[in-house]
Amino acid sequence: MVEPDQAGPHPHAGGTIPRAVDAEGPADRDARRHFPARSRRAGDEPPGRRFRPHRRHHRRDEAAMTEPVTDHQMAEDAPPRLAGQNRLRLIGICFAAAFLTIAGQLTHLTIFPAQEEGPVRPITEAPLPRPDIVDRNGVLLATDVAVASIFADPSKIIDIDEAVEALTATMPDLNATELRRKLSTAKRFAWIKRQVSPEERDAVYNLGIPGVSYVNERRRVYPQGRLSSHVVGYVDLDTKGIAGVEKYLDDRGALYTASLAEPTEHRTEPAQLSLDIRVQAAVIDEVGKAIEKFHAIAGGGIVMDIRTGEVLSMVSLPDFNPNQENKNFSKDQQNRMTSGVYELGSVIKAVTFAMAIDSGKVTLKSVFDTRYPLVIGSARIHDFHPQNHPLTTEEVFCESSNIGTAKMALEVGLEEHQAFLRKVGLFDKLQTELPEAARPLLPKRWSKLVTATTAFGHGFAVQPLQGAAVVAGLLNGGHLITPTFLRRNEEEALAMATTVIGEATSETLRYLFRRNAEEGSASKADVIGYRVGGKTGTAEKVVAGRYDKNKRLSSFIGAFPMDNPKYLVMVMLDEPKAIPGTYGFATAGWNAVPTAANIIERIAPMLGVEPVFSAEDLQKLAKLEEKEKKKKQN
């Protein structure tokens, strides 16, 4: 039940319909024969010739008709011209029937291609280009480029062995056995290689192999590579969105299909995200350095505008390169910030303090006796750094006392505690534009012990982005705003916000955050001039159903400038280790906090936040400069 947390030895894309795909190109008659064209109108088909028999010789003498006539007599009596006309009529009917049968079959095959002949895509219909994806400053994150894909009509291959030899020589990465199998089928269509380079396309075309040609397609490319992979996501070979914003574009119906019979030029407007690729680069760099420095297995970071809910950066490491052909990514490359849930530890204490203060049952003058463990049934709750005197509300926050925080929650009440957690959305799945979203893991039963432990972030798990969004709502005046990866202004954000606490409570919480950065567990986050405030969290991980004291998740959520906060920064490190210089500690104050400080120092100038230096800040700067001079001299 121990929740260690102390640092240091001190204990739309909206737009018009896009342009149609030119799916044929110089693919010669093979591609055109393979893909069905538009059917003729019924009126265009030539009618069969009609034969009109002469009306002469059809009447017989009425008297003769009264006597029975044998077949032999009729044959003898029939005029020669009438017999010839009957034969011509029969022949004409046969020819007309044959013609109509063939014409009908051709029309059917044109309109309804045979399904058993493979994955044929009609050239008269193709997906339109996907909209470009850009960051908030217009930097290109995803776009389409023209490529070609090689296909074959196996029925037209004259010499399979010769074709296999020539194609594998031109494209060495092809598997000869697999290619021979494809060319030996009875199907009329088989892909040989998708999305080839222009050089490969020309080389294959110049081989002149009957039945082998290419069709023009589009390939999705990501100019920034892995820099924004978890947010932007990726598509499959057929440019269908699989993850991230790419899948969101598909799910919201932003893509269309059009006929190439009317090749009108169309282009969609880019989908503009809230991401700032400059901030993203800084976060991914600092989190990556921290993972390496503290020997963590993974890490993540978030930068959010707490007034609009816009996510300027979201990083999850390890990440992936969306441009790689084989996208069989490992589970370790998942987006931990939205698709994973974690116990965030003492970061959740911010929620408990907001609840207790807003209820009126706790003030900054309240005092809590934390000298002895809190006993509930057979459970005992301890502090990581126990104090030998009662603590004020401010001291409980800065010392990150589990005992004091648990007593606050119990004073508010079990039902009230559950109601507040539900009010701030921690009982529900946070859903943004990203489809990868996990549902919180909550206690099955609510009891006095559960209230006490969840008060300090022990026993329930949420998305890191969800935790960041809740804290943002507590610091921005009490307005809970759903995060977004698209552009949004403050007016739009306030219109959709839910008020969860009063402005006075939010102001008190900002004060506590700032005090914690000045002299509490988040002191290493105090970047001079930017008035940073924050809350640390260190939680033991659950391994095989039990808490493992040697495996921890450290996290930090801070904001700046704290007198009127604009930006929130979150850093999370999975299983960081103690290193020389941390005095044996691997808690958030020693790893996640300094990482966040490095991020703030880099991104604040990018975001236009001007530093404000107090007299005390100037003294600190002078000391730092003196320290740097001594280092250089040594």
Quote the tokens at residue 461. Answer: 């798990």
Residue 616: pLDDT band with limits 50, 70, 90: confident
Quote the tokens at residue 88. Answer: 């011509």
Closest alpha carbon to 571 in 322, 370, 316, 358 = 316
CB 160 within 8 A of CB 212: no
Question: What is the distance of C-alpha 447 from the center of its chain?
Answer: 37
Residue 269: pLDDT band with limits 50, 70, 90: confident
The 10 Å CB-count burial string (b at 16+, else e) for 435-456 is bbbbebebeeeeeebbbbbbbb
Pairwise CA distance, residues 574 & 294, whole Å:
10
Q: 56-65 long-range contacts, Cβ below 8 Å, gap at least 24?
A: 57/81, 57/82
Q: What is the mean pLDDT of residues 585-609?
A: 97
> Comparing 225 with 94, which gets the higher pLDDT?
225
Tens-place pLDDT, residues 506-520: 999 999 999 999 999
Structural domains of the chain, ranges and CATH numbers in brackets:
125-268 (3.90.1310.10), 277-633 (3.40.710.10)
Closest alpha carbon to 217 in 286, 143, 149, 315 = 149
For residue 628, the model assigns a pLDDT of: 79
Q: What is the mean pLDDT of residues 413-439?
A: 96
Question: Which residues form the catalytic set?
Answer: 346
Q: What is the mean pLDDT of residues 295-307?
A: 98
For residue 234, the model assigns a pLDDT of: 93
Neighbours of 589 (CB within 10 A): 25
The 10 Å CB-count burial string (b at 16+, else e) for 250-280 is beeebbeebebeeeeeeebebbbbbbbbbbb
For residue 258, the model assigns a pLDDT of: 35
Contacts of 628 (CB under 8 A, 6+ apart): none
Pairwise CA distance, residues 39 & 337, whole Å:
52
For residue 84, the model assigns a pLDDT of: 63
Tens-place pLDDT, residues 139-194: 999 999 988 999 999 999 999 999 999 999 999 999 999 999 999 988 899 999 99
Residue 56 confidence (pLDDT) above 80: no
Which H helix or E strand runs over 182?
helix 176-183
Q: What is the mean pLDDT of residues 363-389?
A: 94
For residue 67, the model assigns a pLDDT of: 43
Q: Give bridge partners of residue 552 from the DSSP assignment.
A: 540
Tell if the pTM clears 0.85, that is, is over it. no
For residue 381, the model assigns a pLDDT of: 96
Pairwise CA distance, residues 228 & 284, whole Å:
9
Residue 49 confidence (pLDDT) above 50: no
Residue 38: pLDDT band with limits 50, 70, 90: very low
Pairwise CA distance, residues 218 & 151, whole Å:
15
For residue 104, the model assigns a pLDDT of: 62
For residue 128, the model assigns a pLDDT of: 67
Q: What is the mean pLDDT of residues 266-282?
A: 89
Pairwise CA distance, residues 294 & 272, whole Å:
35
Q: What is the mean pLDDT of residues 94-106?
A: 67
Pairwise CA distance, residues 312 & 301, whole Å:
11
Share of the chain above pLDDT 70, in %: 78
> Comparing 629 with 534, which gets the higher pLDDT?
534
Tens-place pLDDT, residues 318-347: 999 999 877 677 777 899 999 999 999 999
For residue 260, the model assigns a pLDDT of: 33
Pairwise CA distance, residues 375 & 407, whole Å:
11
For residue 633, the model assigns a pLDDT of: 76
Question: What is the distance of C-alpha 571 from the center of its chain?
Answer: 20
Place of tokens 């969800």: 466
Lowest mean pLDDT, pick from 5-9, 202-206, 276-280, 477-481: 5-9
> Comparing 300 with 72, which gets the higher pLDDT?
300
Separation of first and last alpha carbons in the chain: 46
